[in-house]
Amino acid sequence: MLKKLLGHEVMATVTDENDNFVFAQVEGDTFRIDKKELLKLPKMGSKIKGFAYVNDSHQLQITKQIPKVGIDQYAWGTVVGSRKDLGVFVDIGLPNKDIVVSLDDLSELRHLWPQTGCKLMISLEVDDQNRMWGKLATPEMFNTIKVLAKPNMKNKNVTATVYRLKKVGTFVITDHYNLGFIHPSEREQEPRLGEIVNARVIGVKEDGTLNLSTRPRAYEAISDDAQMILVSLQHSNNVLPFTDKSSPDEIKAYFGISKGQFKRAVGHLMKAGLVKQSDGLLILNEQN
């Protein structure tokens, strides 16, 4: 039965050839093998092994380029396109065939669908019409491959791939296979499925998973004036004799900015929890 062959490595018997292909049979079905993949031409009746699939021209084909993705075998593939009435197309390494992940397995919100370049971990499934589909890895699958995060990862930067979208937040897996979660309050916008995001660790949970944020650190989000004030504090033992009550001339002479600019910058720093004002002094908070 053809369905049992597709998506698997098969052993086929060589029966024919033409200028471009060798033809081989498995259980009565004839597959083509591109001669460019063969180091030497096989003899008639000899055996040839490869991965069986239906190419984009609806022809049965065997390739020696065995993909990591297979039936009940998960691996990463790269999204190469989409069609709103079908789903997204994923390159798993086959010479002339991209695998479709059905729209039924994707978000109802089209703007959250994977874009070209996104990564999906999928396995293969063949339906009763001998069509090969990509099936997204389940949360249980990601749990089986996860690596427990170490407590010292807090405040580290990580690169991660989105594997699940939920109302409660975004689930990701890092390049080192740590599982992570991004709460909606810790992101500027919701990432797409399969999107590769840069995040920082804001917490390591007891179960070895990470709480992440894609928001910039407080000092990364502040203005140039605020950055300059921070540097000045760091070079003055974390204390400066200036506050928003200081005179415009004193501020201008020391910082080279207007009092209005100074007040805005200090306001941002205080809102970010980086500094405080006390007894006529501007003080860098201890944790910074």
* Rounded mean pLDDT for each run of 10 residues along the chain, 288 residues in total: 94 96 96 95 94 96 96 96 96 96 96 97 96 97 96 93 96 98 94 96 95 78 80 90 92 91 88 88 80
pLDDT at 170: 97
pLDDT at 134: 98
Residue 189, Cα to own-chain centre: how many angstroms? 15
Q: Kindly report the CATH number that applies to the domain delimited by 219-284.
A: 1.10.10.10
- Domain borders along the chain are 2-63, 75-137, 146-213, 219-284
Q: Would you tell me which CATH number, out of the four given (2.40.50.140, 3.40.50.12240, 3.40.50.280, 2.130.10.10), belongs to the domain 75-137?
A: 2.40.50.140
pLDDT at 219: 55
Question: What is the domain class of 146-213 according to CATH?
Answer: mainly beta
pLDDT at 251: 92
pLDDT at 87: 97
Domains 75-137 and 219-284 in one fold:
no
What totals of helices (H) and strands (E) does the chain contain, helices first?
A: 6, 18
pLDDT at 223: 77
pLDDT at 202: 92
CB 153 within 8 A of CB 210: yes
Q: What is the pTM of this model?
A: 0.75
What H or E segment, with its residue span, contains residue 261?
Answer: helix 259-271
**CA distance linking residue 218 with residue 261, whole number of Å:** 18
φ/ψ (deg, to 5) at 6: -65, 140
pLDDT at 267: 87
Q: Which fold has domain 2-63?
A: OB fold (Dihydrolipoamide Acetyltransferase, E2P) (2.40.50)
